[in-house]
Chain A
Amino acid sequence: MRTEDFIKALDADARSKALPLGTAWWLAAGAAIVIAAAVFWLTIGPRPDIAIAMHTMRFLSKFVFTIALAASAFVLVRGLSTPGASTGRAVSWMVAAPLLVIVAVILELFAVPASDWGTRLVGTNMVICLTLIPLIGIGPLAVFLAVLRHGAPTRPVLAGAAAGLLAGGLAATFYAAHCFDDSPLFVGTWYTIAAAILAVLGALGGRLFVRW
């Protein structure tokens, strides 16, 4: 078929509509929050002393880290799903969450005697953390991968990994409301591993499902 003729077919289909990608991302973010909240409430729910915990810096700092991760990953994944969009600035924002964690870890090392570092690092919820963050995040990740399919990522594996980090940041935000281990030593270790698990799953999903 000549390209001239092929264009006629595309042109005749000009009136077909699809959801603009920008809108799709916001709808997906809403749906993902609902899914994560539902899984969170059905499984673990918030810790009973949350009202008291809210007055402590360590508890609140967890949300700063997780929301920073989710927000920066959201900007990045949106850029990566659009062909030709510049993502340089979004990539550099991805260091924000790790940087905040590193600063908090250093402060914690000064605030707490060395003999307590081990206990704080291991905490009491390590297994739950590594199970629940991926469990809360897997539904949102599926939603984000569906949006990536709707979009046109020229680097699907990287886009999938960013979607995984977004799901990880979102899931960790909910999980943080449950967990008693508020030390940055715990958060920096186990939350990071949990988010990395979702990033790997996302990269895999990007490789396998995101074709266009």
Chain B
Amino acid sequence: MSGKDEAELSRLLRAAIAGDERAYADFLHRIAALVRGFARRKIVQGGVDPEDVVQETLLAIHVKRHTWRHDAPVLPWVYAIARFKLIDAFRRRGRRIEIEIDEIAETFAEPESETVSERDVNRALDSLPPAQRSVVSAVSVEGRSIGETAAKFGISETAVRVSLHRGLAAIAKRFRAGRE
């Protein structure tokens, strides 16, 4: 975790918040790898799938990216969110866990494994209204662009963006509700 990483991530996130999608994709991929390494290291006993924690953390980072101060370091912000979501995942499954923040320094980026299993995000997706669900699926699983999705469903690009944004917000809300 060098200062170079930090400066690069900070540059990417600033560009992303300004609306640069390529910078944002780059940022999210790097963060996903780091959070994956963190989650795998922390989850030693079964019951919690690290990849679920990765996805919940990415979504939380997405819907809360306005809480990042542009002059503050990115990594402490990212790990605070990841830690919160990890504790949350354990709590939801009735486990208690203490995580030491210092160990973050030993975390390394790790690639996603190839196994495709049932994810919390799929369950959340299934609970969405049909219009939002089909838009989110088209953009993610089918990998369509906003324009292609608009053409597929015969709606405007703005409508696609609105449905996508609401769908993601609803998934985030669904994760919260699952915590009870």
Contacts of B168 in A (CB 8 A): 9-10, 13
In the bound complex, how far is the Cα of B116 from the Cα of A92, in angstroms?
48
B51 touching A3 by the CB < 8 A rule? Answer: yes
Chain B residues with Cβ below 8 Å from A11 are 21, 24-25, 28
Total interface residues in chain A, CB < 8 Å:
33
Selected contact of B139 from candidates A8, A18, A81, CB within 8 Å = A8
Using a Cβ–Cβ cut-off of 8 Å, how many residues does chain B contribute to the interface with A? 55
> Is the Cβ of B164 less than 8 Å from the Cβ of A212?
no
Choose the segment among B3-11, B40-48, B80-88, B89-97 that binds chain A (4+ C-beta atoms closer than 8 Å). Answer: B80-88
B161–A16 CB distance below 8 A:
yes
B121 interfacial by beta-carbon distance below 8 Å: yes
Of all chain A residues, which has the CB nearest B79?
A84
A154 to B67, CA, bound (A): 12
Of the residues A2, A8, A84, contact of B112 by C-beta under 8 Å: A2
Query: In whole angstroms, what is the CA distance A18 to B168 when docked?
Result: 14
Q: Is there an interface contact between B143 and A5, defined as CB atoms closer than 8 Å?
A: yes
**CB within 8 A of A10: which of B36, B58, B78, B84?**
B58
Establish whether residues A1 and B77, one from each chain, have CB atoms under 8 Å apart when the complex forms: no
**Most chain B Cβ neighbours within 10 Å, of A5, A7, A10:** A10
Are A212's CB and B77's CB within 8 A?
no
The answer, yes or no, to whether B154 is at the interface (CB within 8 Å) is no
The reply to whether A10 and B21 contact each other, CB–CB distance below 8 Å, is no
Chain B positions near chain A (C-beta within 8 angstroms): 16, 19-21, 24-25, 28-29, 32, 36, 51, 54-55, 58-60, 62-69, 72-73, 76-81, 83-84, 112, 116, 119, 121-122, 125, 136, 139-141, 143, 145-146, 161, 164-165, 167-168, 172, 176, 179
The 3 closest A-B CB pairs, nearest first, are: A84-B76, A83-B80, A84-B80
**Residue ranges of A at the interface with B (Cβ–Cβ < 8 Å):** 1-22, 81-85, 150-152, 154, 211-212
